[in-house]
């Protein structure tokens, strides 16, 4: 399992990074990205701590750890600047908290994150055809998620991504131990979104490519 969207107690998760990584390793993960929630108020401290954790945990560990960030509920006008700043601070993966129907995310967030060239647009909700076309052009990945609430629009996201040629990933958005999934569980989520086993294999390859770039 490769999971590029998880949270520790540095935002609203419940585990320290080392325990989350250990539990993921036992679950069969090969790569995990720690992507705690951040905005302009905490991006330096959160990303700095996640980078420190990744360096430590990658010393001789069986599972590869990537230090990322999920920019969350950012006013759309601020998104481009914060994405650039996250890159400057050394974020290996930048996730954008998309317009999930489970939360009151500001309208225009999806488009702003896509235009900023993030790596992963998490749970993009009722994303539009126009936004999907732009994401395909910019190489922004749409997330299919196992997270309750956010997963309600997986079918819509999957259908529009396939039609418009958008790259996809499957992530857990884990906040607690029980949120972590294995490959078998991830495949079930994909099939539940009306995707195929072939689609799931493609998502795995997309995740492998992001990891290779992040860890190079």
DSSP secondary structure of 8-39: -TTTT-SS-HHHHHHHHHHHT-SEEEE--EE-
Q: Within 13 A of 57's CA, how many CA atoms are on the CB side?
A: 26
Q: CA 86, CA 78: separation in Å to the nearest integer? A: 12
Give residue for tokens 């129907």: 101
Task: Express as a percent the part of the chain with pLDDT over 90.
Answer: 97
Each domain of the chain, given as residue ranges in start order, spans 2-215
- Structure tokens given for 108: 């225009």
- Structure tokens given for 71: 């920019």
DSSP H helix total and E strand total for the chain: 8, 8
Q: CA 199, CA 167: separation in Å to the nearest integer? A: 10
What's the confidence (pLDDT) of residue 50? 98
The model's pLDDT over 105-125, given as tens digits with 9 standing for 90+, comes to 999 999 999 999 999 999 999
Contact by Cβ (8 Å): 6, 19: no
Contact by Cβ (8 Å): 186, 146: yes
Containing 199, the helix (H) or strand (E) segment is: helix 197-215
Per DSSP bridges, beta strands 120-122 and 93-97 are parallel
| Model confidence band, residue 215 (pLDDT cutoffs 50, 70, 90) | confident
Residue 4: helix, strand or coil by DSSP?
strand
**Global model pTM greater than 0.95:** yes
DSSP secondary structure of 84-125: HHHHHTT-SEEEEE---TTTTPPTTHHHHHHHHT-SEEES--
Which residues have a Cβ under 8 Å from the Cβ of 188 and sit 6 or more positions away? none
Compute the average pLDDT of residues 4-24: 97
Contact by Cβ (8 Å): 95, 145: no
| Model confidence band, residue 216 (pLDDT cutoffs 50, 70, 90) | confident
The model's pLDDT over 66-89, given as tens digits with 9 standing for 90+, comes to 999 999 999 999 999 999 999 999
| CATH pick for 2-215 out of 3.40.50.12370, 1.10.3470.10, 1.10.3720.10, 3.20.20.140 | 3.20.20.140
The model's pLDDT over 139-198, given as tens digits with 9 standing for 90+, comes to 999 999 999 999 999 999 999 999 999 999 999 999 999 999 999 999 999 999 999 999
What's the confidence (pLDDT) of residue 114? 98
């Amino acid at each position: 399992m490769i999971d590029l969207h998880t949270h520790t107690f540095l935002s609203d998760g419940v585990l320290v990074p080392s325990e989350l990584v250990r539990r993921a390793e036992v679950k069969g993960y090969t790569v995990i990205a720690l992507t705690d929630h951040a905005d302009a108020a905490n991006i330096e401290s959160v990303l700095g701590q996640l980078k420190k954790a990744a360096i430590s945990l990658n010393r001789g560990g069986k599972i590869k750890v990537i230090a990322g960030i999920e920019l969350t509920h950012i006013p759309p006008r601020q998104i481009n600047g914060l994405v650039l700043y996250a890159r400057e601070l050394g974020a290996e993966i930048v996730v954008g908290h998309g317009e999930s129907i489970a939360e009151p995310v500001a309208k225009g967030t999806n488009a702003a994150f896509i235009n900023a060239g993030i790596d992963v647009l998490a749970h993009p909700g009722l994303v539009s055809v126009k936004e999907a076309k732009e994401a395909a052009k910019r190489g922004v990945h749409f997330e299919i998620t196992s997270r309750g609430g956010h997963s309600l629009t997986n079918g819509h996201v999957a259908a529009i991504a396939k039609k418009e040629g958008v790259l996809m990933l499957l992530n857990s958005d884990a906040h607690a131990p029980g949120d972590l999934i294995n490959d078998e569980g991830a495949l079930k989520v994909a099939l539940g979104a009306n995707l195929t086993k072939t689609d799931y294999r493609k998502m795995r390859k997309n995740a492998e490519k992001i990891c290779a770039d992040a860890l190079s």
